[in-house]
Amino acid sequence: MDYQIAKGVFDILPEDPDPEGKWREVFYWQYIEKVARQIAEEFGFQEIRTPLFERTELFTRSVGATSDIVNKEMYTFLDKGGRSLTLRPEGTASVMRAIIDKALYQKSSMMKFYYLLPMFRYERQQAGRYRQHHQFGIEAIGSASPYQDAEVIILLHEFLQRLGLKNLNLWINCLGDHSCRENFRQSLQNYLKPYFQELSPLSQLRFENNPLRILDSKDPKDQQILLKAPSILDFLEKEAQDDFEKICAILRTEQIPYQINPKLVRGLDYYNRTVFEITAEELGAQNSLGGGGRYDHLIHELGGPQLPAFGFGSGLERIIQTMLSQKGLFPPLSFVKVYLIPLDEQAMSFSFSLLTTLRNHHISAEMDLSGKKLKIAMKRADTLKAQYVIVIGEEELHTKQLKLKEMATGNSNLLPLSKIVEVLKK
Ligand code: HAM
């Protein structure tokens, strides 16, 4: 085909013909987006939608010039006015830009936003990594309290629980404040120096500019070298350490299982203090379902006031894939409640007015307009996962008694026309 879909992106369809592509079916997307909205709103967050592209400097400045995202993954282009623009690779920077742009902090110093938005990263193609992925994100701005960290971590945990996900691990770490990271960076470099030649090429590159990211390395040799590396937790300032202990205590009180991982640093430069990630055991290398942390200086660095903040982003593709492989909690799949099949032209007009009546009562209904055989119409009802089917022929027109067939059980219930709405509304 001449017009194949671009690499690393995908269509979300009502039904995907590829058995491996079930996760791309729209039903799953609508469902988890609904649960995400519901839980975000229960926790007091409001939706925000930012533009698909921003000025490139926004991401260079916030995500960080040494990060993989800025270095090699941004979709950057010049517009007709010669300005450099970039397709949003992540949500946090855009939300902070919106807050500063509109001086939203003047109205309230506490802001709680959530988003469900596509992100764009020029990634090497592999399972779990897409060039357009979708995030459910949370940003809580204005509080430095450890309870804020805990609230947001609990929100992500609760979201994944409600979707019925199992075998998850919550990893948490503290990156401390500026002096902690400076001292740790020095100590880590001193430790790694004698091993420099043995490090992977990527870690060698990171050695000068961003040595903390070496801790994230998936290379087995690097991991072996890192076994005896210093731990950032030994460098925490007193206040950071107290807050970190408090966050862990809150998680224990709320019975959220967690594991401290002093090697968790995450790939974006704006974090200080708490960082966290939730991983799924069966996902393989790209196993992070979501992650985030505290970024108390980002708003100020972007030209706004000094406001502490905490958030996360979670990838909807990986969440749906994990739900499907774990047979997670999905509601029964159904695109319409009732499917009407008229058998001839006369039944058509009767069915059409019944269709209108059902819809006026907010019952999702669809009618077969193909004029094809009953067998084909039944197949369509099946594709739409209709809960009920009503076949309307001469007899039904005459008696005004309709057979409501429940598709899951095959049982039929004979009802007078006047009772149909009442029964379907139950
Ligand atoms: P991130 O770790 O880069 O963080 O992305 C968050 C989540 O998005 C990941 O845990 C993963 O589930 C998903 N994800 C990332 N890249 C891809 C990809 N190429 N394909 C599929 N899924 C992907 C952030 O973006 C931060 N803005 C999170 C945050 C919000 N921190 C504070 N507030």
pLDDT digits (tens, 9 = 90+) for 327-376: 877 887 778 999 999 999 999 999 999 999 999 999 999 999 988 899 99
Residues of the chain with pLDDT under 70: 1
Q: How far is the CA of 367 from the centre of ligand 1 (A)?
A: 42
| Cβ within 8 Å of residue 367, ≥6 positions away | 339, 340, 341, 342, 351, 352, 355
Sign of CA dihedral 319, 323, 324, 325: positive
Q: Which two tokens stand for residue 202?
A: 């990527």
Q: How far is the CA of 379 from the centre of ligand 1 (A)?
A: 40
Assess contact for 195 and 221: CB atoms under 8 A.
no
pLDDT value of residue 1: 63
In this structure, which residue's CA is closest to atom 2 in ligand 1? 291
Q: How far is the CA of 116 from the centre of ligand 1 (A)?
A: 12
Assess contact for 106 and 155: CB atoms under 8 A.
no
pLDDT value of residue 312: 98
Assess contact for 112 and 311: CB atoms under 8 A.
no
Alpha carbons 162 and 164: distance in angstroms, whole number? 5
- In tens, the pLDDT along 189-244 reads 999 999 999 999 999 999 998 999 999 898 999 999 999 999 999 999 999 999 99
Ligand 1, CB within 6 Å, residue ranges:
90-92, 121, 123, 128-130, 133, 135, 137, 139, 268, 288-293, 311-315, 317-318
Q: How far is CA 74 from CA 60, 137, 301, in A?
A: 10, 19, 21
pLDDT value of residue 66: 84
Exposure string of 73-108, with b = 16+ CB inside 10 Å and e = fewer, is: bbebeeeeeeeebbbbbbbbbbbbbbbbeeebbeee
- Atom number, ligand 1, closest to the C-alpha of residue 289: 12
pLDDT value of residue 411: 95
Q: Which of 278, 318, 319, 320 to mutate to test the pocket of ligand 1 (most atoms within 8 A of CB)?
A: 318
CA 252 to chain centre: 25
